[in-house]
Amino acid sequence: MSGVLTNPYYLREFHHPGSSAQGAIVAAMPAGSFVGALAVTQLADKLGRKKTILLSSLIWVIGSILQCASINRGMLVVGRIVSGLSIGIASTVVPIYQSEITAPAIRGRMVSLQQWRVINPVSDDSCNNMLEGPSLGVSSSNILSNLVVQPSLVDGLDEEALEILADVHGHGDKNNELVQLEYEEIKQQVLFEKSEGAKSYRDLLKGNTPRRVFLGCSLQMWSQLTGMNVMMYYIVYVFEGSGLTGTRVSLIAATVQYVLNVVATIPAIIFIDKWGRRPMMILGCLFMGTFLYLVGGLQARYGHWGTVDDAPVWIITGHDAATKGIIVCSYLFVCSFAVTVGPVSWTYPAEIYSLKTRGKAVSLATATNWIFNFALAWATPPGFANIAWKTYFVFGTFNFAACVHFFFMFPETVGRTLEEVEDIFNEGHPFAPWKIGKHTGKRTLADVVGQNKEHSSIDEKEHV
């Protein structure tokens, strides 16, 4: 939407929406995404991962048609809600599936591709005459790019599952050690947990599951409260307030920001499984909070109330250095998010749950992301119109608060299988996430078989 907020055709066609109306139009899509994410609690387990992804793709096509054909605000909002349903479904089920088929050593890298594909590198300027501008097609490419894998293991097709694991992890060799390890580990857990899978949300309140649900939901909440989507949705407003004049100039500056977002995500994809999740989350929020405070400080020191298109705007005039400083800090903020919290926010929730609860728990985490996205998308335009530069201080404070939460509550999961992550939360000693380092051990097939037999024996006795 950021590419069309100042577009003359858009403003004329939809009768120059005010701050509240514009917020509602932008927020319509994450509102639909919230509903779509919750729907995955049923769809992912009943239809399977692949069919759910295909369904989201079909819904996206319908939503895109409605948006392209929009002749008034109501039709545009409905189209964005329908498209949002698709995004909510896909953004929930794709990370789940990616985490389930990927070897632990590269799981973060694979799931990070979700974040990378969400990013839109298309120039706003070149799309300036399109109704939906650069938003059109972003999530469709995200969804379609993930249709290259086939989840047969969930359906219990053992032989086909072994073949797929061999293709993915062993270059077609079914006797490969990693293939056999993954196959035996997943098979044992699927056989047990499929019959004992979460039947309702009440199952998320048992054992140590509530702690994990809270971690996944809070991480997705913080990823929105960092202010990243505010900077992306309304970057034209940010640059407009910095004193950058001219629609074309501000759109070009915004396009540079999108490109930086794409480029800065690449190092995260490459190194996420080496750096670890905790350092990326903590350092990322420290940097983002700092840059937002710098933007707010520059705005407070050099800005004043003015008017743009007859609307009150806090704007900087006659201070080129301050204008350039705000633009640079905005770019550094986006790069900080792209290389840290952005990829981790999708990777971490997908790997901290057991197979028994993963569908419902990841759905709740993603729904949390979209409900906060919805709230911030709607509230930000009135925020800029009423408290101006203080808006940046609000989000900067959220970032620093997130740092504290990440340090004291989030254990490291890098390099561990999904079953080994289970052990982190099952250990009896006091929960001290800052003492849990990167995983360096290597499990053998005998370890997995023995552990699963032990667990099965215990579970059978408890059941009796």
Q: How confident is the model at residue 3 (pLDDT cuts 50, 70, 90)?
A: low
Per-residue model confidence (pLDDT) at position 134: 41
Residue 182 lies in a domain: no
Q: How confident is the model at residue 197 (pLDDT cuts 50, 70, 90)?
A: low
Contact status, residue 343 vs residue 270, Cβ threshold 8 Å: no
Contact status, residue 344 vs residue 402, Cβ threshold 8 Å: no
pLDDT digits (tens, 9 = 90+) for 393-423: 999 999 999 999 999 999 988 877 767 787 7
Residue 432 lies in a domain: yes
Per-residue model confidence (pLDDT) at position 148: 27
Contact status, residue 150 vs residue 137, Cβ threshold 8 Å: no
CA-based angle 385:390:392, to the nearest 5? 100
Q: How far apart are CA 370 and CA 120, in angstroms?
A: 18
Per-residue model confidence (pLDDT) at position 168: 67
Which of 348, 325, 340 minimizes the C-alpha distance to 264? 340
The arithmetic mean of pLDDT across residues 353-372, rounded, is: 86
H or E stretch covering 187: helix 177-195
Quote the number of domains for the chain.
Answer: 1
Count other Cβ atoms within 10 Å, centred on residue 430.
6
Residue 138 lies in a domain: no
Dihedral of alpha carbons 63, 66, 69, 72, sign = negative
Provide the residue range defining the domain that includes 427.
8-127+209-439
The arithmetic mean of pLDDT across residues 270-298, rounded, is: 93
The arithmetic mean of pLDDT across residues 180-199, rounded, is: 64
The arithmetic mean of pLDDT across residues 5-11, rounded, is: 78
Q: How far apart are CA 12 and CA 296, in angstroms?
A: 32
Category of 157 on φ-ψ map: left (φ > 0), alpha (ψ -120 to 50) or beta: beta
Dihedral of alpha carbons 75, 76, 80, 83, sign = positive
Residue 42 lies in a domain: yes
Amino acid, res. 347? T
pLDDT digits (tens, 9 = 90+) for 250-279: 677 778 888 898 889 889 888 888 888 999
Residue 313, SS3 per DSSP: strand
Per-residue model confidence (pLDDT) at position 42: 77
Integer angstrom CA distances of residue 336 from 95, 261, 333: 22, 9, 5
pLDDT digits (tens, 9 = 90+) for 138-178: 333 233 223 223 333 333 556 767 777 787 667 888 888 87
Instruction: Find residue 314's DSSP bridge partners.
Output: 305
Residue 115's Cβ-side half-sphere holds a number of Cα atoms within 13 Å equal to: 31
Q: Mean pLDDT across the chain, nearest whole number?
A: 78
- Token pair of 27 as six digits: 């927020």
Q: How far apart are CA 94 and CA 362, in angstroms?
A: 10
CATH number where 252 lies: 1.20.1250.20
Per DSSP (E only), the strands in 183-253 are none
Q: How far apart are CA 416 and CA 406, in angstroms?
A: 19
Per-residue model confidence (pLDDT) at position 136: 38
Q: How far apart are CA 86 and CA 376, in angstroms?
A: 20
Count other Cβ atoms within 10 Å, centred on residue 463.
7
Better-scored residue on pLDDT, 353 or 113: 353
Q: How confident is the model at residue 193 (pLDDT cuts 50, 70, 90)?
A: low
State how far Cα 63 lies from the chain centre: 21
Q: How far apart are CA 302 and CA 75, in angstroms?
A: 41
- Token pair of 157 as six digits: 């097709």
Which of 375, 379, 369, 388 minimizes the C-alpha distance to 312? 388
Residue 232 lies in a domain: yes
Count other Cβ atoms within 10 Å, centred on residue 426.
10
